Structure 1
Amino acid sequence: MADLARTGKLLARRVLIAQSLTGLLLSLATWWLWGTDSGLSALAGVCACVIPNAVFAHLAFRHAGASKNQLVVRSFSQGAKFKLILTIFFFVAVFQWPDMKVSVLFASFAATMMTQWVLLIRIKH
């Protein structure tokens, strides 16, 4: 069963790296095309996606094995809760910034999230 946790950790790491690289490139392109405020808004959207996903991955894959079944379920549940709370926190925090480009923020968040889905679909096939 430890192999299952190791596989999950490796998959989570691949997803987080892909999301981070995609988000960084997206933020740099946005900054180059539309300026500093848009670039920082894009980066904020990326962070609002990647950081909660990293916390979820850490919490979700810290236990493995049939004897730890309850701990595994509890870890996934805690990870999902913390991910939601952190995502809400990030959005509340970035909306305090007066020069926030809301459309850029949400577009970069969505693009970063879609990177996760695309990668997982490609890995499955």
Structure 2
Amino acid sequence: MSSSIQRPPVHRIPLLQLALTFVFAFLCLLHSKEAGISALAGGLISLVPNAYFIFLAFRYSGAQQISQVLNNLYKGGAWKMVLTALGFALVFKLLHPLNITALFAGFLLIQASNLFNAKIANL
């Protein structure tokens, strides 16, 4: 008898965050083109590092690979901060005109959606 714990469907998290990013960007686009693009950028600044973290964190599973799981959690956390900072730096450098309010609102909306990750992934 083989008993194993199935991996949670964490792929749902970035997909839902992507959909939420596009919906919010569309709503901001109704205000102005700059707001829509800025909201999209803010959502992606949060989404991309989070998706990479999820990829690393759930790459390995099982008690025999606990050191790899733990190592990837540390790597994922570090890379998440680096990618977030890089995302903001690129947006501030390349995106003109920029709607700061929409940018940070998009970023914070996707960050806030992390509160529901356990529900989304059925954990």
2:66 maps to: 69
- 1:52 corresponds to 2:49: yes
Q: Runs ≥4 in structure 1, deviation > 4 angstroms?
A: 121-125
C-alpha separation between the residues in 2 aligned to 1:38 and 1:90? Answer: 17
- The gaps in structure 2 that reach 5 residues or longer are none
Are the equivalent residues in 1 in contact too, given 2:12–2:121 (CA < 8 A)?
A: no
Task: Report % sequence identity.
Answer: 26
Q: State the TM-score, normalizing by the size of structure 2.
A: 0.87
User: Is 1:3 aligned with 2:5?
Assistant: yes
Q: CA deviation at 1:124?
A: 7.5
Q: Is the 8 A contact 1:48 1:87 kept in 2?
A: yes
Structure 1 range deviating more: 83-92 or 13-22:
13-22
Partner SS state of residue 95, structure 1: helix
Q: Give TM-score, length-normalised by structure 1.
A: 0.86
Extract unaligned runs of 5+ from structure 1: none
Greater percentage in helix: 1
Q: How many residues align?
A: 120
